[in-house]
């Protein structure tokens, strides 16, 4: 049995395509947006060169006020993604909200059921360059995620986390 793939489009968009778009939102060149009708962006938001905002046909991506998103960031919101106010996201960060259940040894992992899990980044947090946030994590308010960290579980407010997998180093 062959699998049929469907396109999500080419990532081009117009401001009127978004569910909502605030004032002073800067999209640098090369930003691609998929399913903008499921994306809400507040005011004073910067989105760096060649970033990808990949919403889904259901659930939402919400980016609140005063957020800075670096270059080549990949944001995925099939399972819901909320980035609260005053968050900084470094270059090349990847945030995922879905994974596949294990279908058993005799089938490709991609054929497993799609599991959706929301990600929330608390206000005033900073996500270091090259970090990866996996489905279902909540980054507590004011948390610093170190560069290159892989966050597999939620973090307490005002913590500093780093490593693979990320762990709490100390509180700030």
Cα separation, 42 vs 64, in Å, equals 5
Q: Are 155 and 140 in contact (CB under 8 A)?
A: yes
CA 65 vs. chain centroid, Å, equals: 16
Q: Say whether 100 is catalytic.
A: yes
Cis status of the peptide bond prior to 9, with omega within 30 of 0: no
Q: Are 33 and 51 in contact (CB under 8 A)?
A: no
The count of other CB atoms within 10 Å of the CB of residue 77 is 29
- Of 61, 22, 62, the C-alpha closest to 45 is 22
Active-site amino acid positions: 100
């Amino acid at each position: 049995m062959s699998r049929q793939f469907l396109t999500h489009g080419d990532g081009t968009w117009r401001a009127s395509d978004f569910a909502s778009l605030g004032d002073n939102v800067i999209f640098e060149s090369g930003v691609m947006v998929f399913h903008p009708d499921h994306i809400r962006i507040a005011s004073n938001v910067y989105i760096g060169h060649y970033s990808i905002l990949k919403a889904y046909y259901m659930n939402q991506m919400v980016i609140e006020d005063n957020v800075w998103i670096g270059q080549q960031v990949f944001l995925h919101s099939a399972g819901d993604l909320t980035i609260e106010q005053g968050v900084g996201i470094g270059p090349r960060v990847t945030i995922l909200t879905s994974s596949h259940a294990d279908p058993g040894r005799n089938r490709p992992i991609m054929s497993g059921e799609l599991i959706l899990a929301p990600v929330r980044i608390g206000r005033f947090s900073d996500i270091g360059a090259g970090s990866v946030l996996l489905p279902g994590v909540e980054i507590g308010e004011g948390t610093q995620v170190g560069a290159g960290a892989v966050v597999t579980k939620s973090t307490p407010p005002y913590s500093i986390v780093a490593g693979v997998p990320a762990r709490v180093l100390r509180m700030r």
